[in-house]
C-alpha cells in the first residue's frame, strides 16, 4: 500500500515499460495487493484461504483503490478516473483469486499424498 501511495502522490508518473498501458500497471499492482491481502487475512497459511478470505481481500484492496483515486484529487496534475478504479478491482479479483486457487490446488495435492 505504501508503494501505491507513493506513486499516487507523484504529479507526473513514469511511462509504463514496453507496450503496457497505465491500466495494465493498475491491474498488476492491485493484483499484488489482492494477493497480499488474501495472505494476510489467512494469517499466511494457504490452508486457511477460503472464498470468504478471497472476497474479503478483494473488498479491502478494491476499496483502497477507491481511496487512492480520492487521494489523487489533491495531487497537482493528477485526475480521478473511474476506469482506474475498475482496473484496480479487476487486479484485486485476479490476485486474490490466484491465492484462492493455489490454496485449493495445494490442499488437493496434500490430500492425494496422504492417500
Whether pTM exceeds 0.85: yes
For 52-101, write each residue's pLDDT tens digit. 999 999 999 999 999 999 999 999 999 999 999 999 999 999 999 999 99
Task: At 33, list the grid cell.
Answer: 495487493
What are the structural domain ranges in the chain? Answer: 30-114
Question: pLDDT band for position 109 (50/70/90)?
Answer: confident
Q: 107 falls in which pLDDT band (50, 70, 90)?
A: confident
For residue range 18-56, list pLDDT tens digits in order.
999 999 999 999 999 999 999 999 998 988 999 999 999
3-state secondary structure of 24: helix
Distances (CA, A) of 79 to 7, 56, 90, 103: 13, 28, 20, 38
Amino acid at each position: 500500500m505504501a508503494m501505491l501511495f507513493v506513486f499516487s502522490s507523484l504529479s507526473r508518473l513514469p511511462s509504463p515499460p514496453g507496450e503496457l498501458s497505465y491500466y495494465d500497471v493498475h491491474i498488476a499492482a492491485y493484483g499484488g495487493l489482492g494477493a497480499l491481502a488474501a495472505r494476510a487475512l489467512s494469517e499466511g497459511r494457504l490452508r486457511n484461504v477460503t472464498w470468504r478470505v478471497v472476497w474479503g481481500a478483494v473488498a479491502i484492496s478494491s476499496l483502497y483503490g477507491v481511496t487512492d483515486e480520492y487521494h489523487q484529487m489533491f495531487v497537482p496534475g493528477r485526475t480521478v478516473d473511474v476506469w482506474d478504479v475498475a482496473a484496480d478491482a479487476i487486479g484485486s479479483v485476479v490476485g486474490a483469486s490466484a491465492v484462492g486457487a493455489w490454496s485449493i490446488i495445494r490442499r488437493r495435492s496434500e490430500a492425494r499424498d496422504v492417500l
